[in-house]
């Protein structure tokens, strides 16, 4: 029976044999660890939303013929891509953090077209196996993690050139039943909260890297996997008594290092094996989906704008013109991100396999704004919050019989405002601008789905300077042969494409 | 017979009895005036494009049952709005300037729903008359100007409070056949190049302003109209010999002051008369369309990026990393504008009258970016261009038997580059960043369709702080009554709306 | 015997009877508390620097006739103000955090001229008492804290209008020997690490606020004072084993809420009592000094630039052009802050009392840049750092016999780089951009010495629009009476003043 | 007898035999050319200021023992450099344009130390000849132009590698009396308004470029010189009737191409000849002075802020909060430039020759801000101005008997405001943001004294990453050998230098 609710999801995680290190100790059961639990809660919310808002989050899938969680759905139209974005924004609003499932969704969708095109060339059967896998996941309603980022070692060298061959995930052994892989994947969002994990190469490969050209699905608790939990700013506040200082006590993100030591992948779960020339295609399609998935951050932006509005209320100055103006600026920046994301989804195209792929130029523009605007929104939130956001005493002091009443007397704001509520909102702002969820709202906005320079390279590849130079030369009456540089992009074809009804 | 080509359009402008002042003199025929002609050429391009690219620029209209110029088309779907944007970008690319027809298009579309809703309330018949007018325009294939911006006088006062009642356009006399109007409309884009002009109120009106609540269509050469031509930076270069110094010798924009001295509007061309409470609706819907129409500037941006790439080529440094990086930044900013515009169009809704209206929040976000990014793109273009862009001698010096060869010797750049071509591209950059088309690319990007503060007000009205505060309070565990402030916006309803297939 | 070294300073703090709450408990001795100690170390560094670099940090004082710590020195020239800035930058470089002594220095300097001018008007003897107090402090070489910011309650109301009269510090009782004060001071930088604290009003006062117009010096351990320690992001990492995860294990800032419950100030330590009309002068002169004191942040900026350069080294990509370009941008922004600070100090003027006061316009410009540029520098540092900065496991995992070697294997970077050093630098970047010292580098840069809007108000007061309008009108040949608006600033007099040699 | 006033200066320019091309014709006498005259007026103002404000603009020179125009003065102290900046700001305020004399001043000052150091190495006598030349200039009170920027041809090639050897100025012939030079200098600010011109190499030279290593002084009307006048946006408005449309009818800048065809330099006017290894030193010192000279733009900024304040007044909305806020922002940016400039001057050092040289890092920071902030100030000015700034009719229309009264009726603003004055201020804003002086305020701010990338290179050379990495490693407890990279800058030595009284 499939998992139907957040509660059932949490239950499904219990009793697995995971090797997870945290603070130098093996974690008994992640579900019960107070520092890990908020990240599980965030994933659970993706189940509850699907149950609550079917049209938004539970589309009908052609693959299984059922309503499935959108995170397991293959996009059958541009509209499906747009609805991914809308669901992402909604979940960002509900959790104020990273809910960890976009990588899996984007991996499935990018594999859909890539496996199809590998099969087309190599007469392999990856696509069929993938569809079977997706169907199985949909029927169980599992969480899929996508493991792409290798640890990389010396960044100036290819996988096969590294001093240690394990610095990129690779096949170490083959049997008739499948392959064994070894290596490590860094910054693995939500990996411990996943049921299955799809490993994928992280960059363009050459023939000599053939053993690194492996894509396959593995249960998260497969033998040979070790997880080492990543620290986040203020993470241990989740382990303190009380629920105020954490800022957002219910929800958080999760990043871990995932080490694979000769982990087995059976043949029916292998979706690429050696077709190195398709690694770049897979990475590019994945990042195309994923850079636009950062629309989720506008949901977090909505929360932070709301918190800023609330604190200005509590401080008694909501209508001061410069405060209002800052809230407008925050909104403007937030919606600029949203706009680029959904524009990318709307300006999608159908791939040979039938899956839809959003526009790559606009996906990069979206993500590039994500590496800038949340920082400015965060700065403005701190401006509105006032200095108290970083000088408030601990919740224990508020609960202390002597210190508590002093704090309530002296931190009183506008009449009728409860001091504790004021503190709670300030702690939420701290959480999102300096604390645990600042990791997701800021630093992962910077580096997730590729650092800023990666977007600039991708924008550069698509900017069609030849096309544009010809426009300029025509208007300037420059008489010379038209620039014949072949363009490595068809962006303007997409821009000016007329959709057929 | 309808106008079919740019040439026929230009022909159609001849022989009209227009009163146009320019440099203190009456212009004999604008079509032949060298300073005016480039603006006519830009409009002509809208005809030629429609002929050349039917799907993009000549949709089938339900009203006349014919393919019509998109500038005369009522949007029958979100897709129609998206295609408006794509046509706008294309025309921006082709002309490098303002082609002057968006105001008319946006006026017709906003009147479509507004007249329908006036009729619904007041049992008037404006909508039917409007449809008749649109049909007639489609059949003749005319250019419509939209005249909204009154000269306004003292900005702290309502129309009826002004020292001079004519500072907003108003009805001065009524007969059984129609009304007479008096006043002046400022910054009238393309008015002299239009066949018909629709006058509209410029802001929210009250009962005392009833005589100002007038909408009607007037032939551009109606008795009583005086046009006084607006100057633009470097405008007289169009009157000099040669075609280099103008930068873009073929195309330019047009702005004029239009003075109406008891101009007659017959009953069948009146689309609002006294229903003052609908003035705000009309203005808001018009600006909603129009702020997103500024996607046209991304077409100009494409030209300027192309010119910058071309000059870096000519200078021999196209692959220098900081130059490349600036071209990427220009592209990123340009596409951020485009994304917000088409996102607004895609996230459209159908109005009662059947016309589609794009998203207002995103339209304002689009336009607000337009008040910023073209300035930065322009700054970067000047950076790439080098100082020569403002120190080059005149074309006449290049043609002079002594000075010319000296210039060719000393302004030689990379081998094989023709000095004149280098100069032409630099003059185009000057044209778009300081010269005649900088007016359109920069200053009108700032103020057209409302100055920046107007967008901020509109964003503020829609930012739904109550909704967002509740998100924050929920995550911060703030226990207090939910904020019950009624929201004056349903932006998030639009965001989370599931489209019905 | 005066305190001579950091060690002696730390010793001097022992055995005092301070009431300090932290995490709901009374702190036994702050000196030994692992979370407090780093803040004490930062102050200790101000002693060691003074011993090490006499010319920079130990000027000769006219008051005591001795070399004294510059933080206790009254500026006898513009050069003295410049050297304050240089010392501040140096200490920022050495500690990477807030060393907490600028408030005291700026308080003494602003009281120097203010008490002189009060005496001049009221024939009081505050100035003499102040000099005596300064001399005493110089002889003991004590740390002075300055307590200005009241908790303020309802920000729309004056002190005497508050529901609770204690929301601003006020005199509750008078005896022949002195006065008793009650109230609370928020965000008290380094208060627990100070020997003496000077209380001062926080804003312009009116006659009805007379009891709030009190300035006086109090020992930090005076009876009736309660301190409640402020939390900082990641503060408890200082209490964990190991020294890596803290990022900067040696140094940190300190902020606390200081509550005064009928604390006695003897007559000889009172420097204002009831002269409410001088409250504004004191606040303005204090903020004038203090806004320029934020040059200290350029020292922190130097550290963060250094850390970014180091990590790009470790990652093996120091010479990549976009990395280099970001380091240049960080430097440019950092030096822009420094420049405005020292320009303000250089463009100083002598006050009636003989103390020098830096330029107020430029001080505000300096601080206003401090509310912006460190955020951008921090964003760029995170960009350069890479995602690992927020996903690294804990130090305990690195020390674990199983997990540690796995981490060392898989987090290896460029050859020859020690993984632990890479981690240490990343933790320092985390510390300054999200962690404990981000509080000082970012949020206190925003709000310390006044939030951004406070600087804008002060810049507005000095921008001399009348003067500038006359410049414009003259060039535009506007014939009208010159604008006679009296200017409430003599900024341009200072700009164009010719120094007498 | 020396020139004493602006009028005498103008007189001194008459009757020279200059070969000047403009619009394809030889100019009879530049003094009487309506398009050239405003640039002469701007230089004349430097004379009048010197007469009016002796302390600011006429220091006592050790060289001639007389009060001399500061533009001819060798800086004898840091204070002298600061006063250069203050004079520059004042002249920017008075003229609203480029007054063209900074290049000459900065050339003399950089030659002072460079010739001294050449002599020291090569036992030449350039320094003495230079002093003699300066003395002569001071006695005649002449205007010196500095000609540095060669036309450069293919930017990827050294002077001696160019296809045409004349693309950098070079010696073509030697006689016992002197040398003959050939080549062309681009973007020559104020060259036609100068009495003497100093030619200098434009970049680092190698031994093979020995013939290009020439510095010498030439009368502006020396035989063999041809000037070709550079066009500026809206330049021909100076040739129209009336004084409104020019915006700033009295003052403008001047840029020309200067072509030298075997021009003779006598031995006593040669200050470098073949010492190629000193070319880089000369260029670096010159740009060090000159990048800080861009403080002049803050004077233009003052005018533009004033114009913006005036127009908001005329529009009746000076106290609207967003307008006020924009004026504050403009001021903040303007003063940030000023601060960096004077900070550079204050943090100066004495050179071996006795001249003072301002701080190079801060000079680059100043100029780099100049390539950004004036564009933003200009954008904000256009925002405040409103759309009318680019749609106003010509002055001739205002003077026309029919059109004029219509314009006055309909362009009326707030009561009591003269429409013509409103127009005049708008034309000034146009002049500075799009028109003739936008060339100086924007594009020359970008490229004068080196384009933005040139400053970034210079900042990079001085950013002392080794020093900063050591700071970071120390705080992060990184145990490794200190970074021993030799720093090619002593910036922090200057920062932490203690001035000796």
pLDDT 10s digits, C194-249: 999 999 999 999 999 999 999 999 999 999 999 999 999 999 999 999 999 999 99
Q: Of C97, C98, C117, C314, which is the active-site residue? A: C98
| pLDDT interval class at C344 (50, 70, 90) | very high
pLDDT, position A414: 80
Q: What is the mean pLDDT of residues D391-406?
A: 97
Q: Can you tell me the distance from the alpha carbon of B134 to that of B131, in angstroms, rounded to the nearest whole number?
A: 5
pLDDT, position C284: 97
| Confidence (pTM) | 0.97
Residues of B in Cβ contact (< 8 Å) with C325: 322, 325
In the residue annotation, C191 being an active-site residue is answered as no
Q: Does residue D331 surpass a pLDDT of 60?
A: yes
Q: What is the pLDDT of residues A414-472, one digit of tens each?
A: 888 899 999 999 999 999 999 999 999 999 999 999 999 999 999 999 999 999 999 99
Q: Does residue A484 surpass a pLDDT of 80?
A: no
Q: What average pLDDT does chain C have?
A: 96
Q: Of A33, A46, A47, A102, which is the active-site residue? A: A102
Q: Of C47, C229, C289, C294, which is the active-site residue? A: C294
**From D234, which residue of chain B is nearest by alpha-carbon distance?**
B234
Q: What is the pLDDT of residues A35-69, one digit of tens each?
A: 999 999 999 999 999 999 999 999 999 999 999 99
Q: H or E stretch including C199?
A: strand C196-199
| pLDDT interval class at B461 (50, 70, 90) | very high
Count A/D contacts: CB-CB distance under 8 Å.
Answer: 7
Q: What is the mean pLDDT of residues B424-442?
A: 98
Q: What is the mean pLDDT of residues A388-410?
A: 97
pLDDT, position C414: 80
**From B320, which residue of chain C is nearest by alpha-carbon distance?**
C321
**What 3-state class would DSSP assign to B214?**
strand
Q: What is the mean pLDDT of residues D236-261?
A: 97
Q: What is the pLDDT of residues B376-417, one digit of tens each?
A: 999 999 999 999 999 999 999 999 999 999 999 999 888 888
Select the more confidently predicted residue: C54 or B315: C54
The β-bridge relationship of strands B225-229 and B255-266 is antiparallel
Residues of A in Cβ contact (< 8 Å) with D325: 322, 325
Residue of B258, B279, B150 whose CA lies nearest to B196: B258
First-residue to last-residue Cα distance in chain A: 40
pLDDT, position D316: 80
Contact D469 C94 (CB under 8 A): no
Q: Can you tell me the distance from the alpha carbon of D319 to that of D302, in angstroms, rounded to the nearest whole number?
A: 19
Residues of B in Cβ contact (< 8 Å) with C327: none
Q: Can you tell me the distance from the alpha carbon of B133 to that of C192, in angstroms, rounded to the nearest whole number?
A: 80
Q: Does residue D86 surpass a pLDDT of 70?
A: yes
Q: Does residue D139 surpass a pLDDT of 90?
A: yes
**From D326, which residue of chain A is nearest by alpha-carbon distance?**
A322
* Chains sharing 3 or more CB pairs under 8 A with chain C: A, B, D
Residue in D45, D327, D335 to test binding to C, most C beta-carbons within 10 Å: D335
Q: Does residue A501 surpass a pLDDT of 60?
A: no
**From C23, which residue of chain A is nearest by alpha-carbon distance?**
A396
Residue of C460, B468, C439 whose CA lies nearest to A327: B468
What residues of chain A have any CB closer than 8 angstroms to a CB in chain D?
321-322, 325
In the residue annotation, A430 being an active-site residue is answered as no
In the residue annotation, A346 being an active-site residue is answered as no
pLDDT, position C482: 61
In the residue annotation, D102 being an active-site residue is answered as yes
Q: Does residue B501 surpass a pLDDT of 70?
A: no
Q: What average pLDDT does chain D have?
A: 96
**From A239, which residue of chain C is nearest by alpha-carbon distance?**
C236
Residues of D in Cβ contact (< 8 Å) with A321: 321-322
Q: What is the pLDDT of residues C206-219, one digit of tens each?
A: 999 999 999 999 99
Percent of chain C with pLDDT over 70: 99
Contact A96 B342 (CB under 8 A): no
Backbone angles phi, psi at C77, to 5 degrees: -165, 165
**From C326, which residue of chain B is nearest by alpha-carbon distance?**
B322
Q: What share of chain B is helix, strand, coil (3-state, %, to 5)?
A: 55, 15, 35
Residue of C332, B334, B492, C385 whose CA lies nearest to D373: C332
**What 3-state class would DSSP assign to A463?**
coil
In the residue annotation, A191 being an active-site residue is answered as no
Residue C150 distance to chain D (closest CA, Å): 27
Contact B495 A302 (CB under 8 A): no
pLDDT, position C36: 98
| pLDDT interval class at D482 (50, 70, 90) | low
| pLDDT interval class at C485 (50, 70, 90) | low
Q: Of B95, B189, B202, B298, which is the active-site residue? A: B189
Residues of B in Cβ contact (< 8 Å) with D294: none
Going along B207-306, which residue ranges are E strands? 214-219, 225-229, 255-266, 270-273
Percent of chain B with pLDDT over 70: 99
Q: Does residue C484 surpass a pLDDT of 70?
A: no
Q: Can you tell me the distance from the alpha carbon of D99 to that of B477, in angstroms, rounded to the nearest whole number?
A: 64
Q: Of D227, D294, D314, D338, which is the active-site residue? A: D294
Count A/C contacts: CB-CB distance under 8 Å.
Answer: 249
Count B/C contacts: CB-CB distance under 8 Å.
Answer: 7
Contact C468 D362 (CB under 8 A): no
| pLDDT interval class at D484 (50, 70, 90) | low
Residues of D in Cβ contact (< 8 Å) with B187: 387-388, 391
Distances in Å between the alpha carbon of A178 and those of A198, C327, D41, D375?
Answer: 15, 48, 86, 63
Q: What is the pLDDT of residues C129-186, one digit of tens each?
A: 999 999 999 999 999 999 999 999 888 899 999 999 999 999 999 999 999 999 999 9
Residue A489 distance to chain D (closest CA, Å): 29
**What ipTM, to 2 d.p.?**
0.97
Rounded to the nearest angstrom, the gap between the alpha carbon of residue C219 and the centroid of all alpha carbons in its chain is 20
**What 3-state class would DSSP assign to C291?**
helix
Q: Of A114, A290, A366, A371, which is the active-site residue? A: A290
Residue B307 Rama label (left phi>0; alpha psi -120 to 50; beta): alpha
Q: What is the pLDDT of residues A179-236, one digit of tens each?
A: 999 999 999 999 999 999 999 999 999 999 999 999 999 999 999 999 999 999 999 9
pLDDT, position A227: 98
**What 3-state class would DSSP assign to C321?**
helix
**What 3-state class would DSSP assign to A27?**
coil
Q: What is the mean pLDDT of residues C461-488?
A: 87
Least confident of A493-497, D301-305, D376-380: A493-497
Q: Does residue B486 surpass a pLDDT of 80?
A: no
In the residue annotation, B234 being an active-site residue is answered as no
Residue D53 distance to chain C (closest CA, Å): 10
Contact D468, D492 (CB under 8 A): no
**What 3-state class would DSSP assign to B152?**
coil
Residue of C290, C341, C374, C380 whose CA lies nearest to C107: C290
Residue D425 distance to chain C (closest CA, Å): 6
Residue in C317, C319, C321, C329 to test binding to B, most B beta-carbons within 10 Å: C321
- Point out the residue among B86, B248, B498 whose CB comes nearest to the CB of A496: B86
Least confident of A200-214, B335-349, C473-487: C473-487
Percent of chain D with pLDDT over 90: 93
In the residue annotation, D366 being an active-site residue is answered as no
Percent of chain A with pLDDT over 90: 93
Residues of D in Cβ contact (< 8 Å) with C413: none
| pLDDT interval class at B318 (50, 70, 90) | confident
Q: Of C95, C124, C149, C189, which is the active-site residue? A: C189
Q: What is the pLDDT of residues A268-293, one digit of tens each?
A: 999 999 999 999 999 999 999 999 99
In the residue annotation, B98 being an active-site residue is answered as yes
Residue in A320, A321, A323 to test binding to D, most D beta-carbons within 10 Å: A321
Residues of A in Cβ contact (< 8 Å) with C184: 406, 410
pLDDT, position C501: 57
Q: Can you tell me the distance from the alpha carbon of A1 to that of D56, in angstroms, rounded to the nearest whole number?
A: 88
Contact A409, C166 (CB under 8 A): yes
Q: What is the pLDDT of residues C330-341, one digit of tens each?
A: 999 999 999 999
């Amino acid at each position: 029976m499939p998992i139907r609710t957040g509660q059932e999801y949490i239950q499904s995680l219990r009793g697995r044999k995971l090797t997870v290190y945290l603070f130098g100790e093996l974690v008994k059961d992640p579900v019960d660890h107070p520092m890990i639990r908020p990240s599980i809660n965030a994933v659970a919310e993706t189940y509850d939303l699907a149950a609550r808002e079917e049209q938004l989050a539970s589309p009908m899938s052609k693959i299984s013929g059922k309503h499935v969680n959108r995170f397991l759905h293959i996009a059958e139209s541009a509209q499906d891509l747009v609805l991914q974005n809308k669901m992402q924004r909604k979940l960002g609003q509900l959790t104020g953090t990273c809910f960890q499932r976009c990588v899996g969704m984007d991996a499935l969708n990018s594999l859909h077209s890539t496996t199809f095109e590998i099969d087309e060339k190599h007469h392999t059967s990856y696509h069929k196996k993938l569809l079977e896998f997706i169907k199985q996941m949909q029927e169980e309603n599992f969480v899929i993690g996508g493991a792409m980022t290798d640890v990389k070692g010396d960044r100036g060298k290819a996988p096969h050139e590294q001093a240690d061959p394990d610095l990129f995930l690779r096949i170490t052994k083959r049997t008739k039943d499948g392959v064994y892989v070894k290596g490590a994947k860094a910054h693995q969002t939500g990996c411990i909260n996943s049921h299955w994990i799809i490993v994928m190469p992280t960059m363009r490969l050459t023939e000599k890297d053939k053993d690194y050209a492996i894509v396959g699905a593995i249960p998260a608790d497969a033998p040979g996997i070790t997880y080492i939990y990543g620290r986040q700013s203020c993470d241990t506040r989740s382990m303190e008594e009380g629920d105020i200082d954490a800022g957002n006590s219910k929800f958080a993100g999760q990043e871990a290092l995932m080490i694979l030591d000769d982990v087995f992948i059976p043949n029916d779960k292998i979706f690429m094996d050696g077709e190195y020339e398709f690694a770049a295609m897979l990475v590019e399609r994945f990042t195309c989906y994923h850079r636009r998935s950062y629309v989720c951050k506008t949901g977090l932006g909505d929360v932070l704008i709301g918190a800023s509005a609330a604190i200005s209320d509590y401080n008694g100055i909501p209508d001061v013109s410069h405060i209002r103006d800052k809230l407008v600026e925050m909104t403007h920046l937030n919606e600029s991100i949203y706009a680029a994301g959904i524009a990318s989804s709307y300006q999608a195209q159908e791939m040979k396999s039938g899956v839809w792929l959003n526009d790559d130029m606009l996906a990069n523009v979206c993500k590039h704004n994500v590496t800038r605007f949340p920082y400015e929104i965060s700065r403005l939130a701190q401006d509105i919050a006032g200095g108290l956001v970083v000088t408030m005493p601990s919740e224990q002091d508020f609960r202390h019989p002597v210190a508590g009443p002093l704090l309530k007397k002296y931190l009183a704001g506008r009449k009728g405002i409860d001091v504790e509520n004021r503190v709670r909102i300030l702690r939420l702002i701290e959480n999102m601008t300096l604390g645990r969820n600042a990791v997701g709202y800021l630093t992962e906005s910077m580096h997730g789905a590729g650092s800023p320079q990666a977007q600039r390279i991708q924008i550069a590849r698509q900017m069609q300077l030849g096309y544009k130079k010809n426009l300029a030369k025509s208007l300037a009456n420059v008489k010379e042969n038209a620039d014949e540089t072949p363009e490595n992009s068809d962006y303007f074809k997409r821009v000016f494409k007329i959709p057929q009804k």
